[in-house]
Amino acid sequence: MSHLAGELGYPIQAIHVPKTVDNDLPITDCCPGFGSVAKYVAVSIREAGFDVASMAKTSTKVFIMEVMGRHAGWIAAAGGLAAEKEGDAPHIILFPELALDEPKFLARVKECVEKYGYCAVVRFRRRQECDGKFLADAGLRDAFGHAQLGGVGPVIAQLVKDKLGYKYHWAVADYTAACGATYRVASRCRTSVCSRQNDRGTCVAGP
């Protein structure tokens, strides 16, 4: 935009704000878009944890949520924001910056199931093998030449089933997380509800 305006001699000042929900741009503390996806993932894994805990004795014992994140684990890390005490979901967060140690991961899953009755896992969509290929690489490329990833959730879930025998559920927080507006909507609601104050400065409900 800035270059085009210069070529046309149009007096416009273009100010560019970098954004990506992955929050992985250098020299950027918090990218626009990350706040809403962070809340979406945190609330989703916490609520899924409640559901799995309610049926763990007779049914599902492991829940795996696949989230976005190719090389940076900010979104995966955000899954832990809603946990209030030991034992709250998620019990395990797997980061793209660290290679998956399968024996250690499986041992931790078993430990959580035995201690808490169930295990909730947040897993980024990328898993890179020793040959440099992504486990969930669909063979497609986006406009930037990046591998189109997805589907690592069921792979990890099946690993748990094969090695530990636990029944599982898995879900993908993908497009719905990226376009989620829960953070912005909540902010607007608070502004609306607290738009009037009484004589002591306390917010009271009102239009």
Residue numbers annotated as active site? 22
Q: Is 137 left (phi over 0), alpha (psi -120 to 50) or beta?
A: beta
| φ/ψ (deg, to 5) at 202 | -90, 135
Distance of CA 122 to the CA centre of its chain: 7
Q: CB–CB of 63/118 below 8 Å?
A: yes
